[in-house]
């Protein structure tokens, strides 16, 4: 399913039943199925590997609390600026997944509080609007994206003010109470058009009785949060920083091992020994740089290969042959390069010590 950047797509995603894992069969039980049933079972497992399963990690829990508090506070009628939430972190850490999950949860909670519609639907209620900021956004491009999220028709001749007013009126009529703005780092406030777009978004948010949730890459160091414009917004936004997992202490290693085990539990393979990948937790940390998104992708890709080749288990050799994303590769390359001089120095030091000892003994 594509990113839900229209009302219709969002509602289809919000209403979609939560994914259910396939029944875990043994190799013998799968083999006993008719050929057509085997193919259907494999297709079900392959789809499950790409399902939107969100772990209740510490980041998700913290963000949930922050959004819940901000949403409750923002319900109060007030003419002052409302509290917003920003989720920051490197790519592949799961920012978009987290905010989409929170938006979906908010959507369902709001609809559950509403009186039942006589025909089982309420087209006049859309609690959440999801917007992706386009690269190098101008004010008009930004408003186009918002109007797209509202399924509003627009023409290239429409002015920014017209689009803004139309979006405000529509969100008010739809009783929108949460606006998710993803890829917010695309607002480059060190350029005039970027600063104008950021100002347009600020003014837009001030006119809506809604909680704004922003997500973007490395926001505390982005132009939006460090430039002159930051004085207008940083006092209104609570930032949660998502960080890669670490593997230095026993506690950190235990957290990572549990995460590997949770990801491994999602692999419905007929010959894979349960929790066997936890023995390779250190290796998996090195391959993924502590990124949950990269870990899940690596294991899912390996499990897909195991299903397609009928080997039905994920081994160290299979993981070695399964590529990771470019960012994880670059991190690993940089880490290896940084470690190389120290190891070379140790070898050279060891060699000099042996030579000196040999000379002394002679």
Q: How far is 151 from 344, CA to CA, in rounded Å? A: 60
Using alpha carbons only, give the angle 269, 272, 277 rounded to the nearest 5 degrees.
115
Question: What's the Cα-to-Cα distance from 336 to each of 287, 302, 331, rounded to whole Å?
Answer: 12, 24, 9
Using alpha carbons only, give the angle 165, 179, 232 rounded to the nearest 5 degrees.
75
Phi-psi region of 206 (alpha: psi -120 to 50; beta: other; left: phi over 0): alpha
**Fold classified for 58-241:** Rossmann fold (3.40.50)
pLDDT in tens, the chain (362 residues): 678 999 999 999 999 888 899 999 999 999 999 999 999 999 999 999 999 888 889 999 999 999 999 988 887 766 566 789 999 998 888 899 999 999 999 999 999 988 655 555 556 899 999 999 999 888 999 999 999 889 988 777 889 999 999 999 999 999 999 999 999 988 887 778 888 888 888 889 889 989 999 999 988 887 777 766 676 677 788 899 999 999 999 999 999 999 999 999 999 999 999 999 999 999 999 999 999 999 999 999 999 999 999 999 999 999 999 998 777 766 666 666 666 565 554 444 444 333 333 333 33
Residues of the chain with CATH 3.40.50.300: 58-241
Q: How far is 319 from 280, CA to CA, in rounded Å? A: 10
Prediction pTM value: 0.82
**CA 201 from centroid of its chain's CA atoms:** 23
Which residue's structure tokens are 């939006």? Answer: 224
Helix, strand, coil percentages (3-state) for the chain, rounded to 5, are 55, 10, 35
């Amino acid at each position: 399913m594509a990113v839900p950047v229209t009302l219709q797509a969002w509602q289809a995603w919000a209403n979609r039943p939560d994914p259910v894992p396939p029944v875990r069969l043994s190799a013998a039980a799968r083999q006993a199925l008719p050929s057509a049933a085997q193919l259907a079972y494999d297709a079900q497992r392959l789809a499950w590997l790409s399902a939107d399963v969100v772990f209740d990690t510490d980041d998700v829990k913290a963000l949930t609390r922050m959004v819940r508090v901000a949403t409750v506070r923002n319900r109060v009628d007030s003419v002052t600026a409302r509290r917003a939430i920003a989720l920051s972190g490197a790519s592949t850490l799961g920012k978009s997944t987290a905010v989409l999950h929170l938006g979906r949860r908010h959507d369902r909670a709001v609809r559950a509080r509403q009186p039942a519609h006589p025909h089982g639907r309420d087209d006049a209620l859309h609690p959440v609007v999801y917007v992706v900021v386009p690269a190098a956004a101008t004010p008009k491009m930004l408003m186009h994206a918002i109007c797209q999220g509202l399924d509003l028709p627009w023409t290239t001749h429409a002015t920014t003010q017209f689009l803004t007013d139309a979006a405000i009126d529509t969100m008010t009529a739809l009783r929108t109470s949460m606006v998710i703005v993803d890829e917010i780092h695309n607002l480059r406030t060190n350029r005039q058009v970027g600063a104008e777009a950021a100002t347009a978004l600020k003014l837009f948010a001030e006119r809506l009785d809604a909680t704004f949730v922003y997500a973007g890459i490395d926001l505390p160091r982005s132009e939006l949060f460090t430039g002159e414009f930051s004085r207008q917004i940083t006092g209104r936004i609570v930032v949660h920083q998502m960080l890669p997992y670490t593997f230095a202490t026993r506690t950190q290693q235990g957290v990572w091992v549990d995460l590997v085990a949770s990801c491994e539990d999602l692999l419905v393979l007929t010959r894979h020994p349960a929790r066997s990948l936890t023995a390779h937790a250190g290796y998996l940390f090195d391959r993924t740089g502590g990124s949950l998104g990269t870990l899940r992708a690596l294991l899912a890709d390996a499990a897909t290969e195991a299903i397609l080749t009928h080997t039905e288990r994920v081994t160290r050799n299979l993981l070695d042959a399964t590529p990771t994303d470019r960012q994880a590769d670059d991190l690993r390359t940089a880490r290896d390069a940084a470690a190389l001089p120290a190891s070379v120095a140790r070898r050279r030091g060891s060699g000099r010590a042996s030579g000196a000892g040999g000379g002394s003994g002679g």
